[in-house]
């Protein structure tokens, strides 16, 4: 299973969350979504959504100008 890459850099909330939801709906069980974003609100929104909906956060990192979250469906 290939990882799904989603780039939402430069997009404000709620777009990163919408794109994550779209990717999760298309993903197979166990597939990973690698999402890059720059919206500060998504730092809270994305992990919270994953926790509330049973998706595992595999990795979450801050790079100099952006964040990256990897979610397993």
Q: What is the tens place of the pLDDT at every residue in 52-68?
A: 999 999 999 998 899 99
Contacts (Cβ under 8 Å, ≥6 apart) of 44 = none
Average pLDDT over residues 6-18: 97
Which value, in Å, is the radius of gyration of the alpha carbons in the chain? 11
The torsion of the CA quartet 16, 18, 20, 23, rounded to 10 degrees, works out to -140
29-50: per-residue pLDDT in tens? 999 999 999 999 999 999 999 9
DSSP state for residue 25 in the 8-state scheme:
H
């Amino acid at each position: 299973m290939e990882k799904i890459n989603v780039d939402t850099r430069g997009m404000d909330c709620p777009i990163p969350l919408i794109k994550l939801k779209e990717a999760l709906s298309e993903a197979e069980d166990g597939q990973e979504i690698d999402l890059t974003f720059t919206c500060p609100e998504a730092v809270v929104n994305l992990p919270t959504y994953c926790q509330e909906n049973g998706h595992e956060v595999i990795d979450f990192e801050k790079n100099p100008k952006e964040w990256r979250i990897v979610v397993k469906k």
